[in-house]
Amino acid sequence: MNWTLEERKFLVENYGRMTQREIGKVLGKAESAVSRMAEILDLQKPVVKKEKEPVYQPLQWKKGIHLQGIWNVRPPEVHMGHGS
């Protein structure tokens, strides 16, 4: 398990960006050797936090709320038989 300085540097720079298998392929080392050296060097893969999907709530209409109020539209004027 002889690792050159260049191989260790490559491992440090690419660990978390490439899989252990890919790193091993580039360096000509077994995946298990890459895993072991990463452990020796105490390398940690970055934790990627996934954004939570937005939760859409169904629109709930409350009694007494009118669409005109929501869209700021004036209701048509209603004439109720008061002499013209």
What are the pLDDT digits (tens) for 45-56? 776 677 777 666
The count of residues in the chain is 84
Nearest to 16 by CA among 42, 47, 41, 37: 47
| pTM score, whole prediction | 0.55
Query: Over the stretch 12-44, which tens digit does the pLDDT of each residue have?
Result: 999 989 999 999 999 999 999 999 999 999 998
Per DSSP, the three-state class of 18 is strand
pLDDT band at 72 (very low <50, low <70, confident <90, very high): very low
Residue 46's pLDDT is what?
Answer: 72
Residue 44: its pLDDT value, please? Answer: 86
